Structures are given as C-alpha cells and as structure tokens.
Structure 1
Amino acid sequence: MADKDRDDDEPKVHDKRKIDPETGEARPDPADVAPDDDGLSEDDLTLLADAEKDLVAEYRDIAARAQAELKNFRTRVERDRAANREAVIAEVIRSLLPVIDDLDRADAHGDLVEGAPLTLVSQKLRAGFEKYGLRSVGEVGEVFDPNVHQAVVQVPDPAATAETVKDVIEPGYALGERLIRAAKVAVSVPASE
C-alpha cells in the first residue's frame, strides 16, 4: 500500500516542448491532430448510425404531423369563418323578414303598382336578398314537410290522400340549405272515417 501511495505522490511531468529533444524535429500541435482511435468499435458505430437514422425519421414524422395539424387547423378556421359569415347574413335577413312580409301584403292589396317608389324599393330589396341565395319555401299543393312547414291549421279533406299544403298563411324562407323561417301553412289531411 505504501508503494501505491508513493506512485500517486510522485509528480507527473508532461513534455510540452514544441521541438523533440531526441530528434530535433518539430512536434505536431495536439489541436491539429485528430485522434486515431475514438474508442468505438464497429458495432458501436453501427448502433450509433442506426440511432441517428431513427432520430432523423422520428423528427421527420414529427414535422409531417405538425404540418398536417396546421393544414387541418387552417381548414377548420376557413370552415368556421364561412359558417360564421352565413350565420350573420341569415340573422340580418331574419331581422328584415317583417319588411318583406309587409311588402307582400301591400302587393296582395294592389298597393304596389308599376313605377311607384315603393315598388322600386321592393324590387331592389328582393334582388339584394336573392343575391345571397334567399328563396321562399312553402307553396300550395306541396307535401307537408315538418322540416320546412309549420302547420297552423289542419283541414280534414275526404279527397286528400296525404298531408298537403292547402294554404300558405305566412311564407317561409331558406338561405341555401339553412332554414331561416318555417312557412306557416294550413294542411289538408285525409278525413278519418
């Protein structure tokens, strides 16, 4: 044990001279010399290369997923924007439906005559709504559909074979596929025996 302690206690000398004293030639700079042996076996190098390939593949997969998520997010935002736009247009039109109803009643009473100012306003208003795809729903003779009609009255009819619209009390309106207001109708129903 004393022998081992003596070896550890002895000073270690590192020769840092740039000229080799035995040969007289310049020694290479240790910073310029690449180590010949990195301490890795061929198996270790193969494992390291495989791990590097797996890591690259994993990061490519992560990048592809992030790109797909971004694309889905953009699609969802555009879809939500379009739905929001349609909802706002529908709400504005819904608030103006009483005006259309009043113009329809005025037309039915003969108050809208060709060239009159109110007739021109009515035409411009309807043209503006049609530009956005507003269409009337509920016509006499249609088969009753609870998705677009609201039955206010049922009228038994011995000639009726199915529930049909007998009279339109208040027209309904749809904007594209969205129902804004159901048509209020009187429905002919088969007479029960």
Structure 2
Amino acid sequence: MDKGRLQNPDPAQLQRLLRERTADLQRVKAEYDNYRKRVRRDRMAVREIAVANVLRALLPVLDAVDRTCAQEPMTPGLKDITDTLATQLGSLGVEAFGEVGDPFDPACHDAVTHHVRPGTDELICTKILRPGYRLGLQLLRPAHVEVTGPPPPTRNPLGHERAESPPAPVRELRR
C-alpha cells in the first residue's frame, strides 16, 4: 500500500483535504512573512543602537574640536577637520541643539545653574555650556545650560511644604 494515498478517493473528501492543506500553507506563509518582518525590524533596531553608541563615543571628540576652535586661531587644517566632521555627522543625521534664548526643556536640557529673575514666567536658556546632540528623534546627549527664570516652586514634588521641620526623634533599638 502506498503511503499518503487515499484508498477510496472521494471527491468531497479530496476537496476538504485540499482546503485544509491550502489553509495550512497560508498560515505557514503568513508566519514566515511575519518572521521576516520581525527580523528586519530587529536588525534595523540593532543597527540604530550601534550607530547611536558609536556617535555617543565620538561626542568628546566633537567637544575637543569645539574647544580648540574657540581657543585657537582657525588654521586651514583645523578648518578642514571641523568642516569634515560636521559634514559627516550631518550626513548621518546628527543634529546639535541648544541655543541661547531657547525655552528650557528638561527632556533635552540639563540645567547646571539657575539664575532667578522675578517677574518671569518660564525658564530660558541663557548660556550654553555644552551643546546637546540628537540622532533623528533619539537624544544622544542633553545640552548643559544655564537658565534664567522664576524662582523654583515653594513645594517639593511630593507635595510637602519646604519649611524646615524639626527632625524626627530618634528611638534607640534595644537588644
């Protein structure tokens, strides 16, 4: 007897088996397509993470070039290095941010110093100590800034008053 062959090939039974096998094949194909898409997405995510990690490692080099440009006269070699670095990082999608006058955004700025100016209603970046960098929508490094604006609120984030309260009594532990 041949394996895989029906003994009584009933047309209705053959149609049912054909539909079942077709449905099985369609499910397997859909699973495989989803798997391919998931692998492609994962590879892209790994690539983006790797690029971001390499770019984060290069940020101190950018800072050193910026400091050198600020302190030294611009020589042709230094200008070439600066221009090439800016062009290459720009082609990868790296953007510097942090300008004097920008509204302070704690999601992308680190306030190093806060100067109080009564009568203002929002914090403004008044000095950029170190620029921040983005890769598309991903923050590579926040900008370090000095801000000027209203005094901090009188309540802390937990909702308790800031007023000094006497320390809680210390109880001795008995052994």
TM-score, normalised to structure 1's length? 0.68
Q: Distance in 1 between matches of 2:132 and 2:126?
A: 15
Q: Distance in 1 between matches of 2:13 and 2:118?
A: 84
Q: Distance in 2 between matches of 1:189 and 1:64?
A: 63
Counterpart residue type for residue 31 of structure 2: E
2:25 is the counterpart of 1:84: no
2:93 is the counterpart of 1:128: no
How far apart are residue 136 of structure 1 and its match? 0.6
Q: Distance in 2 between matches of 1:112 and 1:71?
A: 58
Q: Equivalent residue for 1:32?
A: none
How far apart are residue 51 of structure 1 and its match? 3.3
Out of 77, 90, 95, the position equivalent to 1:117 is 77
Which consecutive residues of structure 1, in runs of 5 or more, have no partner in the other structure?
Answer: 1-39
Q: Secondary structure at the match of 1:142?
A: coil
Q: After the TM superposition, which residues 14-163 of structure 1 pair with which residues of structure 2 at under 5 Å, given as runs?
A: 48-109=10-71, 111-113=72-74, 115-163=75-123
User: In angstroms, what is the RMSD of aligned CA positions?
Assistant: 2.1
Please tell me whether the aligned partners of residues 112 and 119 of structure 1 are also in contact (alpha carbons under 8 angstroms).
no
Q: Percent identity?
A: 35
Q: Distance in 1 between matches of 2:93 and 2:25?
A: 42
How far apart are residue 95 of structure 1 and its match? 0.9
Out of 128, 143, 156, the position equivalent to 1:183 is 143
Seen in structure 2, the aligned counterparts of structure 1 residues 157 and 51 have a Cα distance that, compared at 3 Å, is farther
Counterpart residue type for residue 149 of structure 1: H
Q: Secondary structure at the match of 1:89?
A: helix
Which consecutive residues of structure 2, in runs of 5 or more, have no partner in the other structure?
Answer: 1-7, 155-175
TM-score, normalised to structure 2's length? 0.74
Counterpart residue type for residue 186 of structure 1: E
Counterpart residue type for residue 91 of structure 1: N
Give CA-to-partner distance per residue, 1:31-90, whole Å, 9 cap, x none: xxxxxxxxx9xxxx8xx4433322221211111111111111111111122221221111
Q: Distance in 2 between matches of 1:149 and 1:77?
A: 35
Q: Secondary structure at the match of 1:146?
A: coil
Q: Secondary structure at the match of 1:165?
A: strand
Q: Secondary structure at the match of 2:64?
A: helix
Higher relative contact order (CA 8 A, sep 6+): 2
